[in-house]
Amino acid sequence: MIGRRVAEARRLFAAWRRGTPLAAGAVVASAVATAFEGFGVVMLLPFLQRVLQGGPEPLTLPLRARALEQWLNGLSASAQLVTLGVLIVGSVAGREALLYAVGYLKLLVSMRTADVVRARLHAAFVEAPLALTSRYPHGHFQNYLHTEANRVRQLVTQLMSLAQTAIVAATLIAVMALISLRLAVLVLVVLAALGLPLVRLFRWVHATGSRRVQSRIEIVNYLAELMPFLRSVHIFGSQRQEIARFAARYTDVTQRDLRLYAVNNLVTPVYHTAGALVVLGLVLLGVWLAAGSPGGAAWVIPFVLLFVRFLPILNELNLALSYLADGFASYEKLEAELATLRGRRMEEGGRRFPAVFGALELQGVSFAYEPDAPVLRDVSLTIPRGRHVAVVGPSGCGKSTLCLLLCRLYDPTNGSVRVDGADLRTFSLGSLREAITLVEQTPVLLNDTVRANIAYGRSDASDAEIRFAAKRAHADDFIAEFPHAYETNVGNLGTAISGGQRQRIAIARALLRSPQVLIFDEATSAVDSVSEALIKQTIEELRGVVTVVSVAHRLSTIRDADEIHFVSGGRIACSGTFAELVVKHAEFREYVRAQDLSSAP
């Protein structure tokens, strides 16, 4: 257990390159600060001796420092007072300066380390394949990125505090041992015996902390799912139900927090009580020694003062160990999440996507999001360069999944997607993303300006390029009518503009990349007739210049496509032009009749 914790701590501090040396510097500074404190306490006894006694009596130091003692006794009484006062004040000032530096270093190391861990987690999440991340509940990633990453910052602080406290405790023990080795050993044996039951306590705290992490994840997931669902909550009048669900979830976390607090804070009264008994024993020992020999108990006073200072340090040490057990539970969860994300990165080859290609092909492609639940079954089709190819079919037949496979957001379960015979997996993802672009059914816009949304993914684009892309998407005219034109903010997720405007801005964003293949996934399914006509016009203007793949449920947009593939039950049921399919294939003809777009018999 201890070895594993040490290994985890090393990995944590190694996350930030400068973290380990700065943390070590903070620990060393803590030790020096404690030495200053101990020296000041020791110097207090001869100072009081000279103030209370006066006269020429020689000073006695409660340390094995004969050279310092002889030097002080060579001074006059007034010089001794001044020298001792300077030493005491200097030790206090030195201690405070060092502790200030230690506090800053602890904050710096903890924040930088947490930033690095957070950045690594974010990068791993963004780079992980959608096949993994799309399964996550809403709020799952946000909890790790914010709550658990912040607890990692606290863990770093606690680890440094633990090391600092341990150094302080060791230094105080060393000073007490210089005063009386036997008594120091006796005190340590008593306190160690009291600490043995705490080992089991720390294990319980770690287990409870792990369960609390999971409870927090569930709460964040619930809240993230609730926000876009609020309208439905009001429509169905289920506010009371949601209030009860939230209360039940938070009650569990609160109960775990209370149990952790109760157990963690049990350490303090136990050690305070034990410490009081030890102090009482030391005082009685001093009285007994004083009765046997005048001045024989002089060394007991600084020993008791140091022990009184040592007791809260020991309490802090045990509390830190308890809190670390909880903190490591969060860190282990975060490391496991990071390992999962990094272990599922999408493979890519080193080839660049060809500047000119002949055809994009699906060869025997099958795909399933869940085992034994195929969405596509043995699909094969060819998309020649520069053609407008449409994929249509009823809802749930696998049309959108086919889009995701064409631009390699997912990989087929069986079969392959190829360009001129080369598997898409042999190309670098960067060149593939430049060549193949997808316009989604419900485009997501940033809470930013029109300009920033069109230029997303092409931050180096000039104003002229942005405006040209908008014109090609038939978006420039309505953008010019906005209050601030291209500098107009579109609102959260683009809610400040209409659905048709969002869709055309998304098309402009795709066209700015000058793709070789442009895929429209139900691009006209949720727009008005005017926007649909303009999007259709854009597609027609791209014919012969860009390879266009239109996936649609509504047939009005794709009637003029060079070739239509009708998907039914996850398979290509028939292929041909619109006129050919209406005449030759009854299933497609029935599909057309249902939409009332043809008078075919």
Helix axes 19-53, 300-343, angle to 10 degrees: 170
Percentage of the chain modeled with pLDDT above 90: 0
SS3 (DSSP) at 149: helix
Separate counts of helices (H) and strands (E) for the chain: 22, 10
- Token pair of 418 as six digits: 């190829």
- Residue of 451 and 221 predicted with greater confidence: 451
Res. 524: pLDDT tops 50:
yes
What is this structure's pTM? 0.67
Res. 601: pLDDT tops 50:
no
Instruction: Provide the β-strand partners of residue 520.
Output: 439, 550
In this structure, of 205-214, 397-406, 460-469, the range with the lowest mean pLDDT score is 205-214
Give the DSSP letter of residue 390: E
Closest CA to 180 of 328, 284, 286, 74: 286
Report all structural domains of the chain as residue ranges with CATH numbers, in order of start.
2-343 (1.20.1560.10), 359-595 (3.40.50.300)
Q: Give residue-wise pLDDT tens across range 12-67.
A: 666 677 777 888 888 788 878 877 877 776 777 677 666 666 666 666 665 556 66
**388-392 vs 563-568, strand pairing mode:** parallel
| Residue pair 554/523 in contact by the 8 Å Cβ criterion | no
> b or e along 289-298 (b: 16 or more beta carbons within 10 Å of the residue's beta carbon)?
beeeeeeebb
Res. 576: pLDDT tops 50:
yes
Please return the burial class of 252, using the count of CB atoms within 10 Å of its CB with bins 0-12, 13-18 and 19+.
middle
For the residues 9-14, what does the mean pLDDT come to? 67
**Phi-psi map region of 396: left, alpha, beta (phi>0 left; psi -120 to 50 alpha):** left
Q: Give residue-wise pLDDT tens across range 100-146.
A: 888 888 888 888 888 888 888 878 877 777 777 777 766 677 777 77
Give the DSSP letter of residue 394: S
**Angstrom distance (rounded) from CA 599 to CA 601:** 6
CA distances in angstroms from 495 to 442, 454, 501, listed in the order given: 12, 16, 10
Percentage of the chain modeled with pLDDT above 70: 72
